[in-house]
């Protein structure tokens, strides 16, 4: 296997605070010996654990990038026991394009793990994170939101894991994040996810879904900033107590029927909003024909009792789109 070509322009293990780049060689028509320059900040001081904080794994999700810019700017080495590695724009080409997947290779970074050192730019990023950054980390926080096509209740999430002690450590860190909701999350397709790669290396992993629609709000940005600070306090890297704004409601996605998919394309009429309680068989959306009037809509009904935790964001749907996720109150 070849060596990963990504080179940090700053040392990852030096005390103090440094801002630089992960330099990814990318030879192309407009830059023969060019590079993709992925911003990175390292803040290190004394003994303690390492936290890796990443945003823009998907390029159209903004709470993570906002929070991580704030932290990279604000946190001083004297406040730190251990090390914080901050990458606000992990899939930098996607972030610059404002798109979920990279415009360079059309790869979804969050399905590219553990990556390839000899692959496309996104596969190289995944491989560098998987083989270099995750092994040196104890805690990993990877921010997500709904992007342009989904919207979420603001939650931090952990997964059900085979290792009960690791799962408990992840849940404790997720609860410390202190989002308004705390989710035990089910994935449609966990293969290739950053989450799966980190968890399989035995690390404490926190992910989030903090909003969506391809933008951030004042509230979702506040939740994101406070959450990262809380995780760093929980890890013992920053001093001070966890700051919570009200409680965090526990949610669970116990089965695949939490997901509701569109069986045809059309014009979406929501019948239940985010956070609304619904009961099994209750209509939660209609899909009207997008090519004629006078024809009945397709009605989408709830597969189970619960709370609308996610919804399709754009006004038009395609067949197969995720229309809604219904979560249930958890323990």
Contact footprint for Ca ion (CB under 5 A): 58, 144
CB of 189 to Ca ion, least distance (A): 13
**Are the beta carbons of 141 and 204 closer than 8 angstroms?**
no
Q: How far apart are CA 298 and CA 306, in angstroms?
A: 22
CB of 207 to Ca ion, least distance (A): 9
**Are the beta carbons of 282 and 123 closer than 8 angstroms?**
no
Give the chain's radius of gyration (CA, Å): 20
Q: How far apart are CA 117 and CA 126, in angstroms?
A: 9
Q: How far apart are CA 238 and CA 226, in angstroms?
A: 13
CB of 124 to Ca ion, least distance (A): 20
- The residue written with tokens 């695949």 in the block is 256
Q: Is 306 helix (H, G, I), strand (E, B) or coil?
A: strand
Instruction: Name which of 52 and 237 has its Cβ closer to Ca ion.
Output: 52
Instruction: Name which of 144 and 186 has its Cβ closer to Ca ion.
Output: 144
CB of 261 to Ca ion, least distance (A): 17
CB of 155 to Ca ion, least distance (A): 13
Q: How far apart are CA 142 and CA 305, in angstroms?
A: 30
Question: Beta-strand (E) ranges in 55-121?
Answer: 82-87
Q: Where are the alpha helices (DSSP H) in 201-267?
A: 218-234
- Phi and psi at 209, nearest 5°, equal -135, 110
Instruction: Name which of 4 and 110 has its Cβ closer to Ca ion.
Output: 110
Kindly state the tokens that stand for 78: 């004297």
Instruction: Name which of 81 and 108 has its Cβ closer to Ca ion.
Output: 108
Instruction: Name which of 18 and 322 has its Cβ closer to Ca ion.
Output: 322
Tallying the residues shown for the chain, one arrives at 331
CB of 60 to Ca ion, least distance (A): 8
Instruction: Name which of 58 and 127 has its Cβ closer to Ca ion.
Output: 58
């Amino acid at each position: 296997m070849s060596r990963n070509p990504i080179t940090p322009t700053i040392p990852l293990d030096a005390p103090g605070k440094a801002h630089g780049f992960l330099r990814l060689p990318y030879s192309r028509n407009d830059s023969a010996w060019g590079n993709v320059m992925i911003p990175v900040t390292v803040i290190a001081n004394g003994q303690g654990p390492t936290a890796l904080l990443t945003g823009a794994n998907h390029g159209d999700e903004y709470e993570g990038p906002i929070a991580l810019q704030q932290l990279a700017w604000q946190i001083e080495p004297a406040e730190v026991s251990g090390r914080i590695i901050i990458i606000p724009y992990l899939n930098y080409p996607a972030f610059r394009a404002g798109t979920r997947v990279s415009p360079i290779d059309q790869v979804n970074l969050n399905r590219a793990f553990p990556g390839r050192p000899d692959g496309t730019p996104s596969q190289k990023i995944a491989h560098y994170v998987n083989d270099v950054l995750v092994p040196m980390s104890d805690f990993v926080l990877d921010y997500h939101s709904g992007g342009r096509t989904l919207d979420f209740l603001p939650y931090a999430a952990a997964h059900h894991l085979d290792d009960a002690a690791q799962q408990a450590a992840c849940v404790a860190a997720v609860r410390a994040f202190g989002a308004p909701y705390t989710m035990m999350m089910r994935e449609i397709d966990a293969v290739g996810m950053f989450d799966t790669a980190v968890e399989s290396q035995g690390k404490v992993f926190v992910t989030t879904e903090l909003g969506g629609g391809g933008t951030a709000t004042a509230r979702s940005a506040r939740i994101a900033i406070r959450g990262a600070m809380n995780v760093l306090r929980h890890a013992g890297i920053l001093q001070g107590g966890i700051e919570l704004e009200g409680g965090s409601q526990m949610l669970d996605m116990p089965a695949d029927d939490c997901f509701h998919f569109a069986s045809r394309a059309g014009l979406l009429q929501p019948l239940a909003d985010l956070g609304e309680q619904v009961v099994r068989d209750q209509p939660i959306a209609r899909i009207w024909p997008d090519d004629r009037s006078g024809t009945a809509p397709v009605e989408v009904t709830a597969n189970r009792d619960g709370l609308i935790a996610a919804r399709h964001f754009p006004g038009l749907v395609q067949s197969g789109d995720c229309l809604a996720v219904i979560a249930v109150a958890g323990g």
